[in-house]
Structure 1
């Protein structure tokens, strides 16, 4: 035991010495030129330095870097470097240090925080009262955005990096984004969105002693440039036309003056809720929702055949031919077998037909709320592991963080793809959130929108 203890202490001393050398040199090039890097690799090869774990090299390099930075801050505060003789004639001077344990992404690290005699030194690298580094906060928020609960995060940090944080501390860290969420929810929007997608997903939220199903409403607007933006998130008891009317009114209050086409599901009263805010908007019922609603009454073995016949309706070249296709479906064997599927299309016909008046390129953009469906698919993967949320605020916080992650990944993928193809990434393509994916075939769709709504779209074309 004594031999093992001596080896561990020697390994820690070696790691500490090398870490201080590397921290003092500053850049990797200087480290290699000095020979410190080769010295480090020699220790590692011989097993004389432990890289990770308590007092391993990674912890030592973080400690050395932080302590070096703190000493530099104190020197700037006092006006002289440590060891300079004229320092003793100044009104304030160094006064040793005090110990402090700080939680980092590499685990808990014991630091020596320098202090001055006058007690006026306020470090910024490790602020007073702070027990964590910024990197750990970012890790916790990232884990939370990935769908992990507060308890899951606490267990993960303890078992992986050896850092113990209370559930209240983790909750407070994630709550730090609430101001940013509120600012995002209230940010000014553009005056004009050619396409607006509106949809909701069901989530489970604790209400008192019960867990209830609630609806998380989402709006995605497509700009004139064809970029999709998540405009807002709202959680309420259930999805209803009355609440959607409030959402539309809020979007209008934030600056949205006109919408050409609003795509939504077949919820009763939904089109009227949209038109109450934007009277000139064309409301298009999502074709995919219609197909799903019709198949709700169809046995599993017949769904493929029914969907194939329904395709002749929404791919028809005109309203007249679509009407004939629906009549043919109604008269067919499947139509006779499933009259409720026919009735679904009959009841939604008025809100479905606007889609048929547009050319194929524009139909691809508006025939479905897939812009939201794709986002909802990603969000469901995150919410599925949560079971339920403790409150509406917690639900909005987690969904917003998840959207940040989703959009951030998409932006990074687009930037990488652009670099591989030798193109310059679009401005802002690497930014965090609110820039979504571009709309496929948007140039052709925009051209057709300009022909269909010339007086409304022309003022916004650059």
Structure 2
């Protein structure tokens, strides 16, 4: 039997669909081919050619019936052959189910990649000449649920994660006829091969010690071993949860957040030199040089009343912000901040921004999980490493 195979470049299709119309010649050609294919199927079923006379024939041709058929290149009109007994059926529609599934997956991919539901419905309408409801697009994304659940709950005991980055961001979710903010916790680890992995995420009502502890317990239940260092901002609930759940693990306060906290207390006028000095404290090659720069800063500005809060904040948080110096020198620039996780959060935010308000927490879990799965797959691919050099 003749084999028909059509493949489409969905990426090019999605890129061009909003600017150009579909090629009607292509659709017409496919109509001709499929009609001929079905005609040939009926001939093979009949075991004779049209107009042949055979007293032993087992069935009779009985014309055609029209059928609209929606493919991933658009809606086409086909003439489907039939027989008098009704026993003949074409396998064209079954073959094209795979293409229909690819089209549905393409719709899901558009949503995950940050295309709004409204725009997706427009794309489908231009592709197929058929409108779809927003609820249909939303229902399609539910197909992500099993894959996201499996990924989010995968075992973590087959790797040791030396460094653990944690952070939270806020999203808006519709709940009980009102819009509320919810916290999305994300954890990323650096394994013994110096590669990054997104090892977990959780959606909670707010950022608190209790919710952070629950999140950490879920990671350890999946097999996470105590990391050497946890890198995060200085949220009080997060700090308390790290201290309680990761006994014996050091905490690295993100130097970017810490410097921002210090500089918020600093006068804006005539402080450019002081700001440069502060940055150099945490970029020093060794902890000894860093301490010397810190002491020099305090000695230089402690007589200036404008710098009282600056010096107090620096002195109180300094030790937590230099824990990275206890690790090998080749890791310092990577583990003194949460920048690598901030970039992941910005990718989530870019896709989340087009949605603005999630209809419920389950939909937020599915979409954010799908985005994180995609980001995780593309972190440090092949021979790429997050940290290069020999570990001590």
TM-score by length of 2: 0.78
What are the residue-to-residue correspondences of 1:60-459 with 2, within 5 Å?
60-63=28-31, 81-82=44-45, 84-85=47-48, 99-111=66-78, 117-118=86-87, 124-127=94-97, 133-159=100-126, 162-189=129-156, 190-298=158-266, 305-319=273-287, 321-333=289-301, 336-406=305-375, 410=378, 426=383, 438-441=385-388, 443-444=389-390, 447-448=391-392
Secondary structure in 1 matching 2:131: coil
Secondary structure in 2 matching 1:216: strand
Does the 8 Å CA contact 2:125/2:131 hold for their aligned counterparts?
A: yes
RMSD, matched Cα: 3.9
Does the 8 Å CA contact 1:192/1:256 hold for their aligned counterparts?
A: yes
Does the 8 Å CA contact 1:194/1:259 hold for their aligned counterparts?
A: yes
Counterpart Cα distance in 2 of 1:88 and 1:179: 56
Counterpart Cα distance in 2 of 1:95 and 1:221: 66
More helix by proportion, 1 or 2? Answer: 1
Secondary structure in 2 matching 1:124: helix
Does the 8 Å CA contact 1:198/1:220 hold for their aligned counterparts?
A: yes
Counterpart Cα distance in 1 of 2:4 and 2:358: 48
Secondary structure in 2 matching 1:225: coil
Q: Could you list the runs of 5+ residues in structure 1 that have no partner in the other structure?
A: 1-22, 29-51, 416-424, 427-436, 449-462
Q: 1:255 deviation in Å?
A: 1.5
Q: In structure 1, what is the equivalent of residue 17 of structure 2?
A: none
Question: 1:359-407: CA deviations, max 9, x gaps?
Answer: 4212122111122111112222222333222222222222233334545
Q: In structure 1, what is the equivalent of residue 11 of structure 2?
A: none
Does the 8 Å CA contact 1:221/1:229 hold for their aligned counterparts?
A: yes
Q: 1:100 deviation in Å?
A: 4.1
Secondary structure in 1 matching 2:355: coil
Does the 8 Å CA contact 1:330/1:339 hold for their aligned counterparts?
A: no
Question: 1:258-312: CA deviations, max 9, x gaps?
Answer: 3222211111142442343332322211111212222333455667544412123
What are the residue-to-residue correspondences of 1:6-21 with 2, within 5 Å?
none
Counterpart Cα distance in 1 of 2:73 and 2:62: 29
Does the 8 Å CA contact 1:198/1:263 hold for their aligned counterparts?
A: yes
Counterpart Cα distance in 2 of 1:149 and 1:170: 10
Q: 1:357 deviation in Å?
A: 2.5
TM-score by length of 1: 0.67
Q: How many aligned positions are there?
A: 370
Does the 8 Å CA contact 1:263/1:283 hold for their aligned counterparts?
A: yes
Counterpart Cα distance in 2 of 1:223 and 1:159: 46
Does the 8 Å CA contact 1:379/1:402 hold for their aligned counterparts?
A: yes
Moved more, 291-300 or 136-145: 291-300
Does the 8 Å CA contact 2:66/2:77 hold for their aligned counterparts?
A: yes
